Structure 1
Amino acid sequence: MSVIYNLDKRCLEILNIIMYTSGYLKIQDLADELQVSKRSVYYDISKINEWLESNNIDPLIQERGKGLLINKQQSLAIQKVLNQTNDSLLVYTPEERVMIIICYIIVRDHPLYIDDFIQECQVSRNTIINDLKSVDNLLSKYSLNLSYDIKSGYRIIGDIIKKRALFFMLFPNHLWSYHEKNQLFQSDDVKNKKNLYLLRSIEKELQAEYVTGILPALSVFISSIENRNDELNFSDMDIEEIIETKEYQLVHEYFPKLKNSEQIYVTLHLLGSRLQTIPVNVMKEHGETYIIAKNLVKEFERISYFYYDKEEELINAISAHLKTSLYRYRYGIQLGNPMLDSIKTEYSDLFNLTKKACLTLEKQLDVLISDAEVAYLTLHFGAFMPQKKKNKEHFRILIICPSGIGTGNMLRQEVSNLVPQATEITNLPLSSYTPNHDFDVVISTVVLLNEKKLIVVHPILTDQDRVAILRNCMSTEPRAKMQIDDIINIAKNYIHPSQINDFRQNLQEYYSSIQVQKVHTKRHGNSLINFLTPNHILCIHQIVDWEQAIRISCQPLIDEDSITEKYVQSIINDQKEKGLHMFLADDLVLAHSAIENGVKQLDVSLATFKKPIYFPNGKAARIIIVLCAKDKTKHFGILNDVLEIFSKKKSIEQIVNLDSPEAIHRYIENSINKGTANR
């Protein structure tokens, strides 16, 4: 029997990274990406090599000074073996076993006991007993409880909507791939396959494409609810809107045995899980969701000090996303987000600003917005950030990303920044892809077996992904091709024809490796403490009016030659016209104006006032922070620090009570360092 599943997930991840990395991969880079020690990576490589040798595949070899390199023959052989291991023994992680047990109980159609979990998870009785404790702990976070009765076995007690939400949060994001390989939830295999076929038929009729794993999850769930007595309650307004959609009509046609409430519930999933923007057939185009989306964008612009050139397009994109999200919020339908951790890491500044902006969404809807939902909205905000200008040379890139419109747009924008020489970057759904195309490079988040120009990346790019993109695009873009061709033509006079191809390959590797050893994580911003030095901080004791307060607060930036007097006057004019616009919190004003109104360089100053400053809108401030940004996004890191520190009333009180710029600087520096350590 193959031992592939005796390798832990990190070994499999390392194997996949090596397989889809173009060129050499250093052990240190692997360790950095996986956030483990080099020793751990070496240990994992040895386990991978044992597996390779057991499957008659050449082991991985590290070349001194270069790193690991895998050839095409090895890669194809590995992929072939991986595809043939579906029936092998699978060792689940403890976290996966907990999720399996929960999902198994939720879709139960007969009493479940410890022996059932032992059989499904292939572990010992003691292991399952310990897992059940973890199950209970996880359920408690969602106000659910694990219950046991000798007649009915294990059950989950609590709100029906929450139980279902938990299933759809766990199964599509973590377990569906095992189900797809016939390794999970096979007791109703025939029924599941029939349901999946019907759902695929609906997908085809709608000409839609759904979030990965959602249709398999629905097929399993539908198999379990056909004979249930769950009572679901929907508002009359929602029922009226939903039954008018084509999604509902098709569910009603293909699943006539389901109760009407269950047909509506399945319809909600189809409406809320669609990758493409849904047709505007649920709500009026400028109705509730448009207003909410507009308020959200305005709030993001207010707190980020970034104003979108294509604001209306962004509002419409978020409005389309919210059309179905409102139903999900209302009825607890969780999509989850498999890219959440990556988005929080790779786009931390943008994610944090989006999360702050979503507070206004929570107030409007009176619901909690999960981090998974914030991550999806982060992609929308990021996708409409400005892109670098491209040159006029012909170089076309195709992007295949089944993870959704927001992810695809974000990926497109980052690729545009990485490869400014690209004259065209096109997003295409997986269903529309064909290997017969004329693009120079194909960047995909899934493996395309017949694609010769493929770069496989994560939905949220890692450092290794960026290096792979740069290497491939540098060796294939027109200018590099011309330089290589010129050198080859000269070399032909001195090199034997049999060596030309090898020489060309070495030359391409050399060109693609120049200055592409490491690519920095995509982050928008700098730290507040880098700019807010003690000479940029003022402590004011005398009584002044609000205009004087603005001028005093701006003075350090005038002295630093970061702004002109025009910028100061623009802040005053903006405050008169926009009122509350500059209040980030009670007692705190973020004074700023447009870049073109006299900004010379990115900078920050801060002034505290012992006597409150009353503004024309009636609100009072005791701290004024002046921000001037030369770039539209580089100040995001500064803003996140400001929001992190000054969102707490206690922090404002403590800072105002400090009597020297040096003390305030130390307080802010300690707060930032503490916040970084806790993240």
Structure 2
Amino acid sequence: MSRIKVTFRQKQIILMLIENGNVPKTIKDISIELNVSSRTIVRELPFIEKFLFENDFKFIKKSGVGIFIDESYDKLNFLKELLENEYSVNKLSKNNRITYILESILESNSPIKSAYFLNKFKISYSTFIKDLNSLKSILKKFDLLLIQKKGFGIYIKGTEEKIREILSYLIYEKFSDENLFLNIKNVLTYNYGNEGILKFIDEDTIELCDLIVNKAFDNFKLCFSEKVYVSLIIHLSLSVERIKKKLYCDFKEEVLNKFKKYFEFDVSKFIMNEVKKEFLVDINDSDICYIAMHLRAHKICENNFKDSEDFDFKNLDKIKIAGDIVSKVEKILNIYLGDCEGLIKNLSTHVGPAISRLVMKMNIRNPFLHMMKTQYKEIFDATYLACEVLENIVLCKVPESEVAYITMHIVAAYESKMRLKFKFRVLVCCETGVRVSRFLSNKIMKEFPNILVVGIIPSSNVIYEVKNKMVDFIISTVDIENYDNYIKINPKFTLKDILVINNKLEEIFKIKSKIKNTCYEKNKFIDIDCINEMGNIIKFIEKEFQVKRLHVNGDLKDLIREFVNNTVDVYRDEIYNEVLNRELLSSTFVKELGIILLHTVSEFSENIFIGSYFLKCNLNIYDGEVEIVFYFIIPKKLNTKTLRNIIGELTSSLVKDNNFINLIKSQNIYNVRKHIQNILFNYYVNELKEHIKNFENVISFEEEF
């Protein structure tokens, strides 16, 4: 197998050469078939030549004639198989399958039959339908429909601007913002791109769009960040590729008339006129409007806004809107954010462009959405509800991506506020005398009111003092040997030192708050439901535990068959197979004690069965003799962690407690149940103590912080 991986386009070129046999094919013919420039094909040839050389295939280039692979029919077939193995998709994960389906449909000019994907993935039709349903959910976010017609195929239905939106989404999903910038830069600087981008956009298109954008920005004297630059290049390049295929946007007349009043439309018109000249394509007002929307959404031309008759941005009270959002979040979470410095001001700055995007119904990508929804769920949920303020202004739903950006402002302010409430115990290590040390300590506590200097020490006494005074870290004016948790500052206490201490406080705050939140979320209430469930299960086992005798001749399968037939009344064959498969997966026979644990979590049983059988005659299996069968059958719908823990406690006691085994052998059900009662009572008491202890830990955390 080759170590060198070929890209999708390189594979296409090699397959063309295989189909052509030993007949040369010109660069021009290949470029026409792939709908790219001849220069693009020439760039791919060194990689193709290296791949073929490593795999012992002769690659021939003849000037004025063409290129071909000089090999026999059998070797060409082997090369084809090699390429297929390189691009095997039948082991893709669900998410990768969905992406593959989406990309294939978007690339194709006609509907694709289901059979194509079923053959590629080697999956069942029901699995494929589940993939399509997941894809429908993704498309719904972009106002697109997945259409599946019998005998016709699968295709996507929706407006052209939404198709372009999901194409850009696919590209962004493959890269972080930084990596996307580097890949675009590679195309422009080294004439080498990544297949994730070039699958939809030709590198020549990216190069020309880069020149056009820079020309426009120079002409209108506009500035832009790397992030905005990459975003504009991607959207413009995708638009050009779609326009090349004669696929145009089509906005309503009132939308066009509104945007023609904006400065962004003038900039976009300049850009698209250059596109028309460079790519020799037709341009309409809707495509100009599409790029203008993108410019406006990113505030690229924010100093040149023109008023809209439909929406008066200048008279929008952004401070009030930001204040109303914060106020709603405060009420929902029962917290106060009024003393969070800069929150209203920073949020009001964000509100303007956010409303622009909402008015234009533009979905912005937010790479922090998942983090906000998981790590800061309570604040995100509260902000989601608080965004009703924006919805009442723009008369449309605020998407999660916008909610997440607003959440980020609130999280940053709230964490800064909470950090001030934390008390940090600090030792000051200073070798310049007591007077200077005290002066430095006072300056530190004045600058940071939440720092408590618990002692001033020489560097030689660090380890002893750290152990005895429970400190968070040490602030030192000298290097400390054999100790890492300290920061070194200048005795003069400069601005740089303040920043160093601030960074250290942030680092410790994140660790402390994470410990606090984990403990608090897990144990902020005594889990009464869990305790009740535990008590009910224990009562059930004490009452229903069975002790019987069983007569078996034969082997393991005969034992399981007799056990099932004597335990359950329905679905015996199905439950027999479940128990047998579980035992074959991993044997539960304890040879030294003569005990086997037969069990299953059943799809078929409606009831819990638990108990033991004492065999009339020992049964020879696994080079040992079975004397006792301990069993339990749990319905899948009742398979809770609490139940598993309790049964685990019983089986553990059985293995460790000879008295338990002897009681089962005696067949005295009263004594067995009494013994089980004692085991589970002790377990219940210990678990209850643990719940109370965790709850008390939360109380102590709250008092400390």
Q: What interval of TM-score do these two structures reach, taking the shorter chain for normalisation?
A: 0.3 to 0.5
Q: Which has the higher contact order (CA 8 A, sep 6+)?
A: 1
TM-score w.r.t. length of structure 2: 0.39
The higher radius of gyration belongs to 2
TM-score w.r.t. length of structure 1: 0.40
